[in-house]
Amino acid sequence: MAESVDASVSNTDKDTCASSTLYAPDVTEENMTLDKILSTESTFYDLVFLKEYAKQLGQPFVVSMSLGSNNGSHNGKGVITEAVEAICQEGVPLVISSGNEGDRNMYLHKDFENDTDTLRAMIAMKEQFENIEGFVPKDADLCMRLSLVKKDIDDEWMTIWQSPMLNPETGILPDFISEELPELKEGYSGILRLGMSREPDQVRMKVCGLGSLEEDYFLELTVGSKQGVALDIFNAELTSQGREGYLSSVNSMTLNDWATAPSCISVGAYTANTMVRSLYVEPTTSIEDTLNDIASLSSYGTGLNGVHVPTICAPGINVVAAVNHFNVEYDHNDKPMPYRSEMTWQGFPYNSESGTSMAAPTVAGTIALWLEANPKLTCAEVKDIVCRSARTDAFSEAKPDQFGKGKIDAKRGLEMVLNEGTGISDISKGQRCENNVMYDLQGRPCRQPSAKGIYIRNGKKIIIN
């Protein structure tokens, strides 16, 4: 039986890299969190482990990853992105969520027209933001400054506080802590971190804010370079605020950086269900998304290496999924709220969940079924079938950038797998193939299962209470 291994944690995990202190200037032994650990080097080793484990079992497998972020150079480079490509090149289909920022303006491109040309923009987010990143070629000159500004009573912009000018040789500046800087504290509460480094194949700049802005205050980003240099800034909601000569981010590059690995299968989300089901309240009908249309949150775009994301789309809105039953909500009397009986199975709760993290496992599960029919399929062959079997309609044809090749079609893809060769022997008409072996939901054989649960025998579901 082909095995679908879900290596997902959360699509909101931030992409960091332990090999570069600039890439994660806020990561130290003292403040290393579980999220950071799960999304750094361990992701690379997890992929290697899964590949070797499947090889040991002699089974084909597919990985579903709901990890990554809009941080990164979006050119197929980076520790995890290159690891993803290497795994795919070894024949393993690797499915990655495209991201949940499809409705955000997060990308800004700037071509410096002369040596005095300057990029100026305002950071739009009033609350905490993390890891705004910019990239220029490795030999380019770059400088950066962050300022706290506001409008005075005459509607003129005033500079309240400024950081020192930063360049690749400066490296990472010490934290700017509002409690220690009266000018900064006037309009900002928290910590600001700035860094810049000259790496082997690029110059990277980073701005990180762990705090919030007061009303009417803004952080102003100023970046300078030489004529002919091209700057790309990601994960940055920047705005001009109506100021002449200032720039704003656009919506054309919201994709997960890891999904720019050329051979992976990236997945966006469309709305196949508008009914919102809850553990605690009666179902409601969502008016935010249109049935069968792309989800507004579904990320998309074309990476700087020409890789388009997503490859394919699958249902990802209001998908009924299991819920951690230790996560309990309380009423106004501080008592646990009871589950609605129709949202439980044997006491275990279910809920509506949305995101490309719900869509990617659907594609991975579909691929696992195809691999049962032909375990010899390579990653390239699987991706080709995903694309050729995709279903299109008026919605996908109207928005090809957001839908990719269209919507996943499990049946059409399976027909292609069977018609183009299979790794199992055909069973003649009328012949039955039965045995008493039952399999658990992880594909492990259980001849005499003793644990309660759901099992599969001869293609039928068996429930042991």
* pLDDT tens digits for range 155-213: 899 999 999 999 999 888 999 999 999 999 999 999 999 999 999 999 999 999 999 99
Q: How far is CA 461 from CA 113, 263, 298, 432, 454, in A?
A: 66, 35, 34, 18, 7
Residue 30 has pLDDT above 70, yes or no: no
Inter-axis angle of helices 410-419 and 356-373, nearest 10:
20
Angstrom distance (rounded) from CA 40 to CA 19: 9
pLDDT tens digits for range 106-164: 999 999 999 999 999 999 777 777 789 999 999 999 999 999 999 888 889 999 999 99
Share of the chain above pLDDT 90, in %: 60
H/E stretch holding 110: strand 108-111
Higher pLDDT, 239 or 131: 239
Share of the chain above pLDDT 70, in %: 82
195 residue type, one letter: G
Report the pLDDT value the prediction gives residue 459, as an integer from 0 to 100. 55
H/E stretch holding 360: helix 356-373
Higher pLDDT, 300 or 464: 300
Compute the average pLDDT of residues 421-436: 43
Residue 242 has pLDDT above 70, yes or no: yes
Q: What pTM does this model have?
A: 0.80
Closest by CA to 114, choosing from 223, 224, 230, 226, is 226
Buried b (16+ CB within 10 A) or exposed e, 263-284: bbbbbbbbbbbbebbebeeeee
Residue 294: band (very low, low, confident or very high) from pLDDT cuts 50, 70, 90: very high
Q: Which of 230-244, 331-345, 426-440 has the lowest mean pLDDT?
A: 426-440
Report the pLDDT value the prediction gives residue 437, as an integer from 0 to 100. 65
Compute the average pLDDT of residues 58-64: 90
Angstrom distance (rounded) from CA 47 to CA 53: 10
Q: Which of 8-17, 25-34, 215-224 has the lowest mean pLDDT?
A: 8-17
- Sequential DSSP letters for 161-227: EEPPPB-TTT-BPPPEEGGG-HHHHTTEEEEEEEEEEEETTEEEEEEEEEEEEPTTEEEEEEEEE-T
Higher pLDDT, 321 or 424: 321
